């Protein structure tokens, strides 16, 4: 049987500050290929050149990746501010509509970091623009040097940094076979008010929402705030996620 096909969303990027392009981190593609055992194809996070109906006729699932840009606050009733830039409003437009279409059509969808936030917003959640500014919350952003620059060592940047407490008997707890896991952390936005269909499956030590599912979704519809794509080849938690995604892809492909 041929492999399931996964659409991996792209984000806008300026090459050399001049040439418009779309990019996807290679670790996302390798996580799909190596662990979900599917064929990743990149599609543009640009509504002018992305036909969602045609895309969903081709793929067996969708991966919404992490990205530097934040979800634009106009989608959840908060004023934009320069300190919370950059934004990628074209990707917002594609991702939010695509998320709802996938859930409606039982097409597996998995959101990671920004993708997690997109799933939340698509189903009515609002986001804190910068959760480290909230009383009692930790800094969930990536480690930096004293100079303010990103730490140069990926193993430091993507190291496990905090625990997540999972809902007993929930989808994630059953998937991992435990109720506490430890994950990396590289995000600024975080969930504020939950949408009606967004079900919390796991929270960080400071109560930041880190794992969700969509209630009554007929297919796989999960999101995680951490970067699960970084090391699923070796990390048992992240491997279990992409394996479960792969199984959902195969089941959907067979159903077609």
- 192-226 tens-digit pLDDT: 999 999 999 999 999 999 999 999 999 999 999 99
- Per the prediction, the chain carries an average pLDDT of 94
Among 43-47, 134-138, 144-148, the range of highest mean pLDDT:
43-47
7 CB burial (10 A radius; 0-12, 13-18, 19+): buried
* pLDDT the model gives residue 210: 98
- 61-84 tens-digit pLDDT: 999 999 989 999 999 988 888 878
- Strand spans (E) along the chain: 5-9, 11-15, 19-23, 39-43, 61-64, 109-112, 127-128, 162-166, 180-183, 190-191, 198-204, 209-214, 221-224
Average pLDDT value for residue range 249-254: 97
Give residue 155's pLDDT band: very low, low, confident or very high (50, 70, 90).
confident
Distance CA 128, CA 27 (A): 27
Is the confidence at residue 254, as pLDDT, over 90? yes
Give residue 134's pLDDT band: very low, low, confident or very high (50, 70, 90).
confident
Is the confidence at residue 1, as pLDDT, over 70? no
Give residue 16's pLDDT band: very low, low, confident or very high (50, 70, 90).
confident
Q: How far is CA 183 from CA 5, 159, 187, 228, 237, in A?
A: 27, 8, 12, 8, 8
Angle at 238 between CA 235 and CA 242, to 5 degrees: 125
Q: Angle between the 236-255 and 26-34 helix axes, to the nearest 10 degrees?
A: 70
Q: What are phi and psi of 101, to 5 degrees?
A: -65, -40
Neighbours of 247 (CB within 10 A): 15
- 32-42 tens-digit pLDDT: 999 999 999 99
- 102-128 tens-digit pLDDT: 999 999 999 999 999 999 999 999 999
The fold of 5-129+189-255 is: Rossmann fold (3.40.50)
* pLDDT the model gives residue 220: 98
Q: Distance between alpha carbon 213 and the CA centroid of its chain, in Å?
A: 12
Percent of the chain at pLDDT > 70 equals 100
* pLDDT the model gives residue 243: 98
Is the confidence at residue 249, as pLDDT, over 90? yes
């Amino acid at each position: 049987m041929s492999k399931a096909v996964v659409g991996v969303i792209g984000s806008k990027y300026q090459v050399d500050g001049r040439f418009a392009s779309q990019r996807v981190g290679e670790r996302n593609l390798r996580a799909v290929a190596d662990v979900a055992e599917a064929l990743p194809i990149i599609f543009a996070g640009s509504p002018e050149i992305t036909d969602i109906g045609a895309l969903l006729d081709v793929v067996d699932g969708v991966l919404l990746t992490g990205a530097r840009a934040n979800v634009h606050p106009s989608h959840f009733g908060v004023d934009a501010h320069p300190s919370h830039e950059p934004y990628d409003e074209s990707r917002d437009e594609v991702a939010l509509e695509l998320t709802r279409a996938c859930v409606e059509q039982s097409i597996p969808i998995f959101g990671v970091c920004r993708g997690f936030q997109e799933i939340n917003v698509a189903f009515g959640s609002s986001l804190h623009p910068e959760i480290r500014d909230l009383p009692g919350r930790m800094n969930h952003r990536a480690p930096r040097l004293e100079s303010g620059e990103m730490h140069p060592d990926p193993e430091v940047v993507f190291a496990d940094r905090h625990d997540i407490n999972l809902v007993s008997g929930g989808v994630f707890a059953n998937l991992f076979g435990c109720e506490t896991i430890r994950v990396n952390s590289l995000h600024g936005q975080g969930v504020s008010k939950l949408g009606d269909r967004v079900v919390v499956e796991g929270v960080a030590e400071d109560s930041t929402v880190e794992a969700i599912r969509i209630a009554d979704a007929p297919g796989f519809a999960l999101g995680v705030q951490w970067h699960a794509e970084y090391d699923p080849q070796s990390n048992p938690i992240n491997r279990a996620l992409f394996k479960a995604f792969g199984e959902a892809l195969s089941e959907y492909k067979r159903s077609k």
